[in-house]
Amino acid sequence: MSLYTLAVSGMTCEHCARTVEKALAGVAGVTAAQVSYESSTARVEARDGVPEAALLEAVKAKGYGAEPLEARGSSGPGRVASANKVTRPARKAEAGLHIAIVGSGSGAFATAIQAVDAGAQVTLIEAGTLGGTCVNVGCVPSKIMIQAAHVAHTHAASSFPGIASRPAQVNRAALVVQQQNRVEELRVAKYQNIVDANAGINVLQGFARFKDHHTLIVKRPDSRETQLRADRILIATGASPAVPPVPGLKESPYWTSTDALVAEELPKHLVIIGSSIVAIELGQAFLRLGSKVTMIARSKVLFREDPAIGDALEAALREEGMTILTHTQTRSVAHRDGMFQVETSAGVIEGDRLLVATGRRPNTSGMNLEAIGVKLDERGAIRVDDHLRTSVPDVYAVGDCTNQPQFVYVAAAAGTRAAINMTGGDAVLDLTAMPAVIFTDPQVATVGLSEAEANLKGIETDTRTLTLDNVPRALANFDTRGFIKLVVEAGTGRLLGAQAVAAQAGELIQTAALAIRNRMTVNDLAGQLFPYLTMVEGLRLCALTFTKDVKQLSCCAG
Cite the active site residues. 11, 13, 16, 64, 134, 139, 555-556
Q: How far, in whole angstroms, is CA 161 from its chain's centroid?
A: 39
Q: How far, in whole angstroms, is CA 344 from its chain's centroid?
A: 31
Q: What is the DSSP string of 425-451?
A: -B-----TT--EEE-SSSEEEEEE--H
- Could you give the CA distance from residue 471 to residue 191 in angstroms, rounded to a whole number? 42
- Could you give the CA distance from residue 140 to residue 190 in angstroms, rounded to a whole number? 12
- Could you give the CA distance from residue 181 to residue 195 in angstroms, rounded to a whole number? 20
Are the C-beta atoms of 541 and 528 separated by less than 8 Å? no
Who's near 6: CB < 8 A, 6+ residues apart? 41, 42, 43, 44, 55, 56, 59, 66, 67, 68, 69
Where are the alpha helices (H) located in 378-504, listed in sequence order?
A: 408-422, 451-456, 472-476
Are the C-beta atoms of 490 and 463 separated by less than 8 Å? no
- Could you give the CA distance from residue 450 to residue 308 in angstroms, rounded to a whole number? 11
Beta bridge partners of 271: 294, 354
- Could you give the CA distance from residue 222 to residue 210 in angstroms, rounded to a whole number? 19
Q: Give the CA dihedral 111, 117, 121, 126, nearest 10 degrees.
A: 30
- In b/e form, how buried is each residue of 75-87, taking b as 16+ CB within 10 angstroms? eeeeeebbbeebb
- Could you give the CA distance from residue 305 to residue 301 in angstroms, rounded to a whole number? 9
- Could you give the CA distance from residue 154 to residue 134 in angstroms, rounded to a whole number? 27
CA distance to 96, 184, 469, per residue, from 200 (Å): 11, 24, 55
